[in-house]
Amino acid sequence: MLDRVTKRTDLKDELVTIVRMLTKQSAPIKGDLPMPEAEPAPTPETTSK
């Protein structure tokens, strides 16, 4: 039996943890992703190839 008390704001993370545990998957990766680097807009010279 699994007995846990979870705040409403943390419910999604808790459900992900339980589902991954039951399906024997590794722990989910948590953290902030770095901001993507800005790519220059394509120019006609680079898109014509």
What mean pLDDT is predicted for residues 10-36?
A: 86
- What is the C-alpha to C-alpha distance for residues 26 and 23, in angstroms, rounded to an integer? 9
**14/33: higher pLDDT:** 14
Are residues 17 and 28 in contact, defined by beta-carbon separation less than 8 angstroms? Answer: yes
**Residues 30, 14, 16, 12: what is their CA dihedral angle, to the nearest 10 degrees?**
-90
Whole-angstrom CA distances from 8 to 2, 13, 15 are: 18, 10, 11
Name the most confidently modeled range: 1-10, 15-24, 37-46.
15-24
Give the confidence band of 1 by pLDDT, cuts at 50, 70, 90.
low
Answer yes or no: are the C-beta atoms of 13 and 19 closer than 8 Å. no
In which band, very low, low, confident or very high, does the pLDDT at 23 lie, cut at 50, 70 and 90?
A: very high
